[in-house]
Amino acid sequence: MKALRDGEHYEIPMTSLIDVVFLLLIFFLVATNFSRRETDHAVILPNSEAGTADAKVPARLVVNIREQGVVVVNSRIVDDDAALRKIVAEFVAAQPNRPAVIRADARVPYRVVMRVFGICRAEGVARVDLPVLDSGEK
């Protein structure tokens, strides 16, 4: 290590380090938004004490059912059962053995949830998850 003379000091160049940190920050912000794309904020999940944390599965089909019974997949409203069957069948063909998630609003009638569940099972989805909020979350 070199001894410092009077008035002499060393500086660490911080410009490149700051640039790298900002690029990493932007990358993680964008990556987080892509991973939450399927979450429909209009859906209020029901509460349950028996619920478990949502497993982080990289590729899965997420079907949102809003309060009025409107089915939304990938931010697109699905008008009829035939269109939903086509989407589910394409997912199963491209990603066999991947789970589907039905995020149903707490106020949706049970028959609507079971209709979507039945379509998923009929098209060959291996596992269908129904997420809920833990009673402590709100």
pLDDT category of residue 29 using cuts at 50, 70 and 90: confident
**Could you give the CA distance from residue 98 to residue 128 in angstroms, rounded to a whole number?**
9
Greater confidence (2 vs 31) lies with 31
What's the pTM?
0.64
H helices within the chain, ranges in order? 15-35, 81-94, 110-122
**Could you give the CA distance from residue 113 to residue 128 in angstroms, rounded to a whole number?**
11
How does pLDDT run across 123-132, given as a tens digit for each residue? Answer: 999 899 988 8
pLDDT category of residue 17 using cuts at 50, 70 and 90: confident
- Burial status of residue 117 (CB atoms within 10 A of its CB: 0-12, 13-18, 19 or more): middle
Task: Determine, yes or no, domain membership for 99.
Answer: yes
CATH number of the domain enclosing 107: 3.30.420.270
- The domain of 51 spans 47-134
Task: Determine, yes or no, domain membership for 119.
Answer: yes
For the cut 80, the answer to whether the pLDDT of residue 102 exceeds it is yes
Q: How many domains does the chain have?
A: 1
According to DSSP, the residues that pair with 101 across neighbouring strands are: 62, 129
pLDDT at 3: 58
How does pLDDT run across 75-98, given as a tens digit for each residue? Answer: 889 999 999 999 999 999 998 888
- Find the length of the chain: 138
pLDDT at 58: 54
